[in-house]
C-alpha cells in the first residue's frame, strides 16, 4: 500500500522539482545579468554578499537603477543629454529616471520600486505622484542605463511598499527639482540601508550647482566688464591729459 502511495506521489514531486530547478535557473540568469550591469560601478570586493544564487542568504541586495526618461515615446534623456550634459555640465545620471531595486538571491521575486507622476499620463495632469512596483525581468535590466550596488536590507516587500506609500503621502505633489523619482529612491535607500546615501547627485542638486556656477560666471563677467570699462576710461583720460599737455588748453577738433 505504501509503495502504491509513493508511486502516486512521485509524478507530483517530480513536477515540483522541475519547477524549482527552472526557477533556480531563471534566477541565476537574472543575477548574472545584474552582476554584468553593475560591474562597471563597483568591484566584487565592495559587495557585502556575493550577488549569486543562495537560498540561505538572510539579506537582499539593494541597487539603484537609472533609465532613460520616456515621455509619450520620446527618449527625453537621450535628447536632453546632448545639450544639457555636454554644454550645461549636468550628468547623464541626473537627467535619468531613478528606481530602487531589491534583489532576492533565492527563488523569491526581485522587485523594482519607483515614482511616477501624472505628467507622464496622456489624460489628467494635476502634478500628482504615484508609487509603482514591478517584478524585475531580464528585459527590464537590459534597458537600464546604469545600475549601482548600495547595500543590504532585511526589509520585506510589504514593508518597502509601506515606506513608498508613506513617502507619497508626505510628498503628494510632483516637482521636477525637489520631489521626483530620484527623491523617492534616495529616501528608500536611507530607510533600507541604515542611512546610506546615493553618491550620485540628483537633478535638483546639480541644477543648484549649475545655477551657482552660472551666477558666478555672470558675476565674473560683469566684474571683468566693469574692470575693462574702467581701464578704457582710464586710457581715454590719460590720452586726453597728454594731448592737453602737448596742445595746451585749446579745444581739440
pLDDT given at position 61: 96
Q: Looking at the whole model, is its pTM more than 0.85?
A: no
pLDDT given at position 32: 95
pLDDT given at position 206: 57
Domain match, 97 and 119 both: yes
**Residue at a domain's end among 168, 183, 201:** 201
Place of cell 509503495: 3
Per-residue pLDDT 10s for the chain (253 aa) are 455 444 555 666 688 888 889 999 999 999 999 999 986 665 555 788 889 999 899 999 999 999 887 655 555 555 555 565 555 566 667 778 899 999 999 989 999 999 988 755 555 566 789 899 999 999 999 999 889 999 999 999 999 999 999 999 999 998 877 888 989 999 999 999 988 888 676 666 655 555 444 444 444 454 455 555 565 566 666 665 665 565 554 443 3
Domain total of the chain: 2
Domain match, 189 and 77 both: yes
Domain match, 195 and 210 both: no
pLDDT given at position 220: 47
Domain match, 154 and 194 both: yes
Domain match, 125 and 19 both: yes
SS3 content of the chain, % helix, strand, coil (to 5): 55, 20, 30
**Residue at a domain's end among 201, 221, 245:** 201
pLDDT given at position 36: 92
Domain match, 126 and 220 both: no
Q: How far apart are CA 194 and CA 97, in angstroms?
A: 23
Domain match, 197 and 222 both: no
Domain match, 104 and 178 both: yes
Q: How far apart are CA 150 and CA 133, in angstroms?
A: 19
- The DSSP letter of residue 159 is H
Domain match, 239 and 206 both: yes
E strands in the chain: 60-67, 70-71, 74-75, 97-103, 111-117, 129-135, 146-153
pLDDT given at position 250: 47
Domain match, 6 and 124 both: yes
- The DSSP letter of residue 72 is T
**Residue at a domain's end among 201, 225, 240:** 201
Domain match, 220 and 163 both: no
pLDDT given at position 39: 67
**Residue 51's closest CA among 69, 71, 37?**
37
The CATH number of the domain holding residue 196 is 3.90.1720.30
Domain match, 229 and 148 both: no
Print the domain residue range for 35: 2-201
Amino acid at each position: 500500500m505504501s509503495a502504491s502511495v509513493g508511486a502516486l506521489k512521485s509524478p507530483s514531486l517530480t513536477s515540483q522539482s522541475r519547477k524549482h530547478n527552472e526557477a533556480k535557473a531563471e534566477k541565476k540568469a537574472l543575477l548574472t545579468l545584474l552582476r554584468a550591469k553593475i560591474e562597471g560601478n563597483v568591484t566584487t570586493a565592495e559587495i557585502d554578499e556575493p550577488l549569486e544564487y543562495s537560498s540561505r542568504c538572510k539579506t537582499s541586495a539593494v541597487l539603484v537603477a537609472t533609465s532613460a526618461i520616456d515621455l509619450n515615446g520620446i527618449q527625453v534623456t537621450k535628447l536632453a543629454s546632448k545639450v544639457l550634459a555636454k554644454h550645461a555640465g549636468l550628468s547623464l545620471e541626473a537627467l535619468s529616471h531613478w528606481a530602487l531595486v531589491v534583489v532576492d538571491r533565492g527563488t523569491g521575486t526581485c522587485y523594482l520600486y519607483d515614482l511616477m507622476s501624472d505628467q507622464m499620463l496622456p489624460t489628467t495632469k494635476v502634478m500628482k505622484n504615484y508609487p509603482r512596483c514591478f517584478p524585475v525581468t531580464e528585459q527590464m535590466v537590459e534597458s537600464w542605463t546604469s545600475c549601482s550596488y548600495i547595500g543590504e536590507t532585511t526589509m520585506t516587500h510589504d514593508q518597502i511598499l509601506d515606506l513608498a506609500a508613506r513617502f507619497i503621502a508626505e510628498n503628494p505633489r510632483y516637482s521636477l527639482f525637489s520631489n521626483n523619482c530620484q527623491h523617492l529612491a534616495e529616501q528608500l535607500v536611507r530607510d533600507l540601508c541604515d542611512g546610506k546615501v546615493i553618491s550620485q547627485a540628483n537633478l535638483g542638486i546639480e541644477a543648484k550647482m549649475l545655477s551657482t556656477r552660472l551666477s558666478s560666471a555672470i558675476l565674473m563677467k560683469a566684474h571683468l566688464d566693469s574692470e575693462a570699462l574702467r581701464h578704457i576710461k582710464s586710457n581715454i583720460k590719460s590720452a586726453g591729459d597728454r594731448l592737453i599737455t602737448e596742445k595746451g588748453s585749446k579745444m581739440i577738433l
